[in-house]
A and B are shown apart, each in its own frame.
Chain A
Amino acid sequence: MWTYERRLQYPVKIKCPNAAAAKVIISQYGGPDGEMGASMRYLSQRYAMPYRPAAGLLTDIGTEELAHLEIVAAIVHQLTRNLTPAEIKAQGFADYYVDHTVGIWPQAAGGVPFSATAFQSKGDPITDLVEDMGAEQKARTTYDNILRLMDDPDVIDPIRYLRQREIVHFQRFGEALGMVREHLNPRNIYACNPAFDKGCGK
């Protein structure tokens, strides 16, 4: 189960609303390399992970991604509150506003709704961990792209924090991949699925 703490993992305090910035950043809420996909990817992959320490890592990073989802939502929320309809129009937010007002809804920056097709749960621990390393890099690239578009230090600060976490997660998933390779059957040189083909490598 999960439980809530009444705090953000990293604080968000934005003084100047900016709907144009929010429209870009919402991609890390519901976009193809966003935090919702990240959390669902790792939490869903746990059940096919036969090596318990790696299943623990998927649990802990999947949980941290939920905290990041909340940070991204807090950024978008604070960037879009107290705007007038005129400001919403001038800042290019009218197409989001017409369907969601200034509520939070998972979509990519281009308006594409969140989709589970943005991630995989393949039932093969080697395949899944390799995907996870790629996913962390894609999220890091997205945060880099966001940082190039931002000039408000109140926004840049938490985005930099989120970017840094992608790098740490990439490192930990790399270590988990090494552990799984070593721990599972060392004769499985063709990397057949150690969660399904019990006799593989024998």
Chain B
Amino acid sequence: MYNGNAGARNLLREIDDVSFAMDEVRLFLDTHPKDTEALANFIALRKKREGLLEEYRAAYGPICAYSAGGRTAWNWVEGPWPWEGEA
């Protein structure tokens, strides 16, 4: 998550959008577990999100705590935190 980087910002917005769609469909599936259309929708969104998260991680750093790392220094603590409103 790097300050002032438009590419990072746009990719993060895409991740937010697809993640929110999954948050919404997840709750719907909890009370409609046999709705196959919603289920297919969730799986399609999941695949899209996995790709976007990996793209972000490779270019700008980790979003998920389990995907943190770094070549020479711990990248989990680099860049602004989400509540700073700068990403």
**How many of B's residues come within 8 Å of A, CB to CB?**
27
Complex contact B83–A5 (CB within 8 A): no
**How many of A's residues come within 8 Å of B, CB to CB?**
30
Complex contact B30–A73 (CB within 8 A): no
Is residue A61 contacting chain B, with contact meaning CB distance below 8 A?
yes
Contact residues of A between 42 and 96, Cβ < 8 Å to B: 53-54, 56-57, 60-61, 64, 70, 73-74, 77-78
Q: Inter-chain contact count A-B, CB under 8 Å?
A: 76
Complex contact B23–A9 (CB within 8 A): yes
Instruction: Give the interface SS of chain A, mostly helix, strand, loop or mixed.
Output: helix
With A7-B12, A14-B85 as known contacts, state yes or no: A176 contacts B66, CB within 8 Å: no
Complex contact B30–A6 (CB within 8 A): no
With A6-B62, A7-B12 as known contacts, state yes or no: A60 contacts B85, CB within 8 Å: no
Complex contact B31–A74 (CB within 8 A): no
Complex contact A53–B30 (CB within 8 A): yes
Complex contact A11–B13 (CB within 8 A): yes
Complex contact B1–A11 (CB within 8 A): no
- The residues of B with any CB-CB pair to A shorter than 8 Å are 1, 12-13, 15-16, 19-20, 23-24, 26-28, 30-33, 62-66, 76, 81-83, 85, 87
For this complex, 8 residue pairs linking A to B, each with C-beta atoms less than 8 Å apart, are A4-B64, A7-B15, A8-B83, A11-B13, A53-B33, A73-B83, A78-B85, A172-B30
